[in-house]
Amino acid sequence: MTDCPKSQWILILILCIVQIVTGNYGLWADWWSYEGISGPEYWGLLYPDWLLCSKGRNQSPVNVDPKTLLFDPSLDHIMFKGNEFTGYLVNNGHDITFDIEELRWKGVNITGGPVSYNYRIKEIRLHFGTDDSYGSEHSINGKSFPAEIHIMAYNSDLYSNITEAEKSPRGMLILAIFAQTTDVTHGEFEILVNAMNKTKYKDSTKVREFYLSRLLPPTDYYITYEGSLTHPGCYETVTWVILNKPIYISKKQIDTMRKLNQAGRKNPQMLMAGNLRPRKDVNQRTIRTNINFHNHKCSMVQHMYYSVNNKYAET
């Protein structure tokens, strides 16, 4: 108990009072942030159901050390069923989320790759920094990217919705894509950027047409590991798939993201940028890849964004 900083006890005290007054844990679900006493260091204390945020040993995000990557020949290509989405771009105060409508004739499912179930895409979340030096949640060899896009899919073979799936075994697959900045506008990403005009403050707006294939970078290669959600409750139910190439968005596009606010119009100084969780230890996990460095035909060697596994790159 002696190693518990004073500020934590004050926080616990405040939360207990809140709890007594409200008698309702549900209220806390909105009460977290990326800094200060409601920030990532304290998520695990905010709500009993979020214990894994502080105690979990299979947490995300992580830094990927290329030297430890393991080539796994049993990893298939990822398969997408469907292509088009509609939904709402929501500024919920923590994140900017594209909340996808579950319609029978639209939407995209993911199978193959490292998973054996059908995963239905339900949300796309964006994480980004205040400048280009950081922003991605994962890093490769200690290197951050300006932004990271999370395509969040839930196991629809076993579970009826994302709320149930995110707490349950094999519940989630998150496809992570890094974004690098350039001078060229990314056409499909621009649809979300345009919608951000209407979600600068806590708000939501309809997105009528969005094609996943036009967003994704052209690659079949990825890195995969078992981890957690990167926001509360940090449930360890996620198979992560990190694509080996970034997409390119323009400086103007990322600048629009950086103007997003966490709060209502009354607190315009609270920018959302910097909405990333600090990296967690890999511990005993294995990070696998379908990139066979031994017969390095894949384009990754030419565009060495991630200098990977020199040990196997020879011959």
Residues with a catalytic annotation lie at: 159
Binder among 86, 180, 194, 307 for ligand NAG (CB under 6 A): 194
Find where tokens 């990927």 sit.
64
Strand partners, 177: 149
Query: Strand 78-81 vs strand 109-112: parallel, antiparallel, or unpaired?
Result: antiparallel
Stretch near ligand NAG under the rule CB under 6 A, chosen from 8-16, 141-149, 154-162, 239-247: 154-162
Asked whether position 109 contacts ligand NAG by CB under 6 A, the answer is yes
Q: Rounded to the nearest 5°, which phi and psi values hold at 151?
A: -95, 110
Binder among 56, 107, 129, 246 for ligand NAG (CB under 6 A): 107
Q: Which is nearer to ligand NAG, 194 or 219 (CB)?
A: 194
Tell the smallest beta-carbon distance from residue 232 to ligand NAG (Å): 17
State the burial class of residue 79 (Cβ atoms within 10 Å of its Cβ: 0-12, 13-18, 19+): exposed
Tell the smallest beta-carbon distance from residue 72 to ligand NAG (Å): 26
Q: Which is nearer to ligand NAG, 136 or 156 (CB)?
A: 156
- Are residues 202 and 270 in contact, defined by beta-carbon separation less than 8 angstroms? no
Structure tokens at 33: 């942030």
Residues 163-182 that bind ligand NAG (CB under 6 A): 163-164
State the burial class of residue 176 (Cβ atoms within 10 Å of its Cβ: 0-12, 13-18, 19+): buried
Q: Which is nearer to ligand NAG, 28 or 293 (CB)?
A: 28
- Are residues 40 and 33 in contact, defined by beta-carbon separation less than 8 angstroms? no
Tell the smallest beta-carbon distance from residue 56 to ligand NAG (Å): 23
Find where tokens 């304290």 sit.
42
Asked whether position 116 contacts ligand NAG by CB under 6 A, the answer is no
- Are residues 148 and 136 in contact, defined by beta-carbon separation less than 8 angstroms? yes
Binder among 71, 82, 88, 211 for ligand NAG (CB under 6 A): 82
Asked whether position 160 contacts ligand NAG by CB under 6 A, the answer is yes
Asked whether position 118 contacts ligand NAG by CB under 6 A, the answer is yes
Give CA–CA dist 236/228, Å, rounded. 4
Q: Which residue is nearest to ligand NAG (CB)?
A: 82
Binder among 67, 81, 294, 303 for ligand NAG (CB under 6 A): 81
Asked whether position 299 contacts ligand NAG by CB under 6 A, the answer is no
Give CA–CA dist 89/97, Å, rounded. 6
Give CA–CA dist 126/96, Å, rounded. 6
Tell the smallest beta-carbon distance from residue 107 to ligand NAG (Å): 5
How many residues touch ligand NAG under the rule CB under 6 A: the total is 13
Binder among 197, 283, 299, 310 for ligand NAG (CB under 6 A): 197
Alpha-carbon separation of residue 87 from 103, 124, 134, 205 (angstroms) = 10, 10, 29, 8
Q: Which is nearer to ligand NAG, 55 or 81 (CB)?
A: 81
Q: Closest Cα to residue 122, out of 109, 113, 137?
A: 109
* Residues of this chain that bind ligand NAG (CB under 6 A): 81-82, 107, 109, 118, 120, 156, 160-161, 163-164, 194, 197
